[in-house]
Amino acid sequence: MQTLSAPRVPSFATRAAAREAALLADLAGLGQLAPRAQLRRLGHSDAAMKAAVDRGILRPVARSWLAGSDAESGAMRALELRGVLGGESALRSMGVWVSHDTGLCVATPHSASRLPLVAEGEYRVQARRRPQIEGGRMWRVSAIDAVEQLLRREPEAAHAIASVDSAVRLGLLPTDRLDELFERLPRRLRRLRRDVNGLADSGVESLLRLAVAAQGWRVEVQVQVRSVGRVDLLIDGWLIVEVDGYRWHSSARQVALDHRRDAECIRQGKRHHRFGYDQVMNDIDGCIEVLRELVRCGRPTAS
């Protein structure tokens, strides 16, 4: 007679490993940084969290936070300063283009007192009374709050608009919330709303678009051209302008592709010109001088 064996009960070590794996997975989903209370709400016990800390897998931060091995150092520093990532720092952590790095931006509640002093290269901004949390990531302000904080500090309008464009392009700032964003701002900044486009692939493209539009030329962004593909800017329907960023235009394969695209532009009777990242960032007036000369020469005559 065959006897049925009892189902195997997972050992203590197996159960502990499963709890640890679940804890690490949830922490990763929160950006490698979360307060203990948030992890408790996800079903993780204090014992499991303590065990992970004791094993050196997690690191305690500030008063009640836990950080994984890949947690952003700036965010941990912001927590130590009794704030969260704000403004430009929060935007960079989301992948939003920001032109200048002016330091670690720490967003602190308006009611906070006896705050630790910030060091050189750090500064504070005031967080909204009811901050919005996106994706459960409590260590930074929301995209709309971060953009608002940046706009209040950015002295160059074109650079501010370029960051808004980037946030829109990435889907972090839906177009139906743009009016809400600009309503929060002082009247002097609300006029920037009309220049937001959200189509550019990079901030430097936005900077060049704005400079071109200021000349009174008709400019289109990310235009599909037959046999060429998508081009960064098209001025007055015939002058193609590309901006080569370091990331996408440094490989031999990409350079060869760019050359083929340029040749096809000529065959189609269009003029074209390429600018490098540094040219747009450091000599935008020089870029416009080049384009002005190309526009003055006029559209190539079809053969």
Which region among 135-139, 153-157, 224-228, 280-284 has the lowest average model confidence (pLDDT)? 224-228
Count of all residues that appear for the chain in the document: 303
Same domain, 178 and 86: yes
Q: Does the residue 277 lie in any domain?
A: yes
Do residues 161 and 109 lie in contact, with contact meaning Cβ atoms separated by under 8 Å? no
Which region among 66-80, 115-129, 157-171, 200-214 has the lowest average model confidence (pLDDT)? 115-129
State the average pLDDT over residues 262-286: 87
pLDDT at 271: 85
Q: Does the residue 186 lie in any domain?
A: yes
Same domain, 90 and 188: yes
Q: What is the mean pLDDT of the chain?
A: 89
Number of domains forming the structure of the chain: 3
- Of the residues 10, 36, 71, the one at which a domain ends: 71
Tokens of 151: 């706009």
CATH code, domain with 257: 3.40.960.10
Tokens of 284: 């935008």
State the average pLDDT over residues 132-153: 91
Same domain, 274 and 183: no
Please tell me which residue, 301 or 48, carries the higher pLDDT value. Answer: 48
Residue 43, domain extent: 26-71
Same domain, 91 and 61: no
Q: Does the residue 238 lie in any domain?
A: yes
Same domain, 51 and 134: no
What does DSSP assign to residue 194? G
Residue 247 reports pLDDT greater than 70: no
Would you call 241 exposed, middle or buried from its count of C-beta atoms within 10 A (0-12, 13-18, 19+)? buried
Same domain, 287 and 251: yes
- Of the residues 195, 227, 243, the one at which a domain ends: 195
Q: Residue 101 CB: number of other CB atoms within 10 A?
A: 10
Chain position carrying tokens 């936005």: 206
User: pLDDT tier at 8 (50, 70, 90 boundaries)?
Assistant: low
Same domain, 52 and 103: no
Same domain, 58 and 132: no
Q: Does the residue 40 lie in any domain?
A: yes
Partner residues linked to 239 by β-bridges: 235, 271
Residue 144 reports pLDDT greater than 70: yes
Same domain, 247 and 191: no
Tokens of 97: 């283009």
Residue 2 reports pLDDT greater than 60: no
Q: Does the residue 15 lie in any domain?
A: no
Helix (H) or strand (E) holding 299: none
Q: Does the residue 207 lie in any domain?
A: yes
The string of pLDDT tens digits covering residues 18-58 is: 999 999 999 999 999 999 999 999 999 999 999 999 999 99
Same domain, 45 and 142: no
Q: Does the residue 257 lie in any domain?
A: yes
Same domain, 93 and 188: yes
Q: Does the residue 5 lie in any domain?
A: no
pLDDT at 263: 78
Same domain, 86 and 185: yes
Q: Which amino acid is at 90?
A: A
pTM: 0.87
pLDDT at 254: 67
- Of the residues 195, 226, 255, the one at which a domain ends: 195
Please tell me which residue, 102 or 14, carries the higher pLDDT value. Answer: 102
Do residues 261 and 228 lie in contact, with contact meaning Cβ atoms separated by under 8 Å? yes
